[in-house]
C-alpha cells in the first residue's frame, strides 16, 4: 500500500516538474518524512530524482543546451567533494535563507542582476547546487534561475535543467553509497517511485506543449518566487 501511494505521489510531482521544470522534487521531499525514516529521506529522494530528471531530459533531449554541461559537471564534482568533506564541521542551517533571498533578488531586482552577472556561471551553480543538495532539498532553483535568464525557450529551460539536476542527484547518490547507505532495504518503494517518476515525466512533457512561452515564463517566475519565500519562512519558523 505504501509503495502504491508513494508511486502515485511521485507520478504527480514528476508531472509538475516536467511541465514547469521545478517544484516537483521539493513537494516530494516535503511529503516523504511521513513515510520514511529521516536517515533514508535524502538518499531515497535523490535516487528517485535521478530517474525523474533523467527521463525528463531523455524526452526532451533535442532541447538540451549541451554547452553548459561540462562547466556544471566540473563545479558539481568540486562541490560534492568539498561539502562531503566539511559536512560534519560546519553548520548549514541558514543556507536555505540565503538561497531564498538570492532567488527573489535575481528574479525581481534589476540592480542586483547587473551587479551579480559577472559572478554568475555554471561552475558556481554546479558547485553549490550539487554540494548543498546533500543537506538542502531546494537547490534546484539555483540553476533554474540561471537558465531562466539565459534562455527564452521553455523547452530548453526544462530539458537543460533536468540534465543538470540529473548530475546533481546522481553524484549525491554515489556519495551516499560510499558512506554505506543500503538502498536495497527500500527496493520496492524505490521501484514504485521510479516507475511513477518516469511515467510522470512522459505525461508532463506532453502537457508542457499545451502551454505557450509567455504563460510558462509567468508560471515559472511565480513558482520560483513561492519556493524562495517558503525557504525564507521555514528558517524564521525554526528560529521562533
> At 90, is the pLDDT very low, low, confident or very high (cuts 50, 70, 90)?
low
Q: Cell triple for residue 75?
A: 563545479
Distance CA(198)–CA(177), nearest Å, equals: 22
Boundaries of every domain in the chain: 2-239
Contact of 145 with 50, CB cutoff 8 Å = no
pLDDT in tens, 149-180: 888 888 999 999 999 999 999 998 998 898 88
Going by C-beta distance under 8 Å and a sequence separation of 6 or more, which residues neighbour residue 88?
Answer: none
Mean pLDDT of the chain, nearest integer: 87
pLDDT in tens, 204-233: 998 888 877 678 778 878 888 888 898 889
Amino acid at each position: 500500500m505504501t509503495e502504491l501511494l508513494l508511486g502515485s505521489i511521485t507520478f504527480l510531482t514528476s508531472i509538475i516538474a516536467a511541465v514547469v521544470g521545478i517544484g516537483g522534487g521539493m513537494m516530494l521531499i516535503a511529503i516523504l518524512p511521513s513515510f520514511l525514516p529521516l536517515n533514508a529521506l535524502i538518499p531515497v529522494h535523490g535516487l528517485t530524482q535521478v530517474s525523474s530528471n533523467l527521463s525528463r531530459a531523455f524526452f526532451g533531449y533535442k532541447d538540451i543546451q549541451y554547452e553548459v554541461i561540462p562547466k556544471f559537471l566540473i563545479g558539481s564534482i568540486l562541490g560534492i567533494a568539498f561539502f562531503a568533506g566539511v559536512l560534519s564541521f560546519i553548520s548549514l542551517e541558514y543556507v536555505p535563507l540565503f538561497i531564498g533571498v538570492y532567488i527573489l533578488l535575481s528574479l525581481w531586482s534589476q540592480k542586483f542582476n547587473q551587479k551579480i552577472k559577472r559572478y554568475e556561471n555554471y561552475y558556481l551553480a554546479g558547485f553549490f547546487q550539487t554540494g548543498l543538495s546533500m543537506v538542502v532539498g531546494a537547490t534546484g532553483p539555483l540553476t533554474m534561475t540561471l537558465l531562466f535568464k539565459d534562455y527564452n525557450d521553455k523547452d530548453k529551460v526544462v530539458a537543460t535543467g533536468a540534465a543538470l539536476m540529473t548530475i546533481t542527484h546522481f553524484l549525491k547518490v554515489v556519495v551516499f553509497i560510499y558512506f554505506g547507505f543500503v538502498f536495497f532495504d527500500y527496493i520496492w518503494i524505490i521501484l514504485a517511485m521510479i516507475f511513477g517518476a518516469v511515467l510522470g515525466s512522459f505525461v508532463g512533457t506532453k502537457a508542457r506543449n499545451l502551454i505557450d512561452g509567455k504563460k510558462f515564463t509567468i508560471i515559472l517566475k511565480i513558482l520560483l518566487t513561492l519556493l524562495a519565500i517558503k525557504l525564507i519562512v521555514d528558517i524564521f519558523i525554526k528560529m521562533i
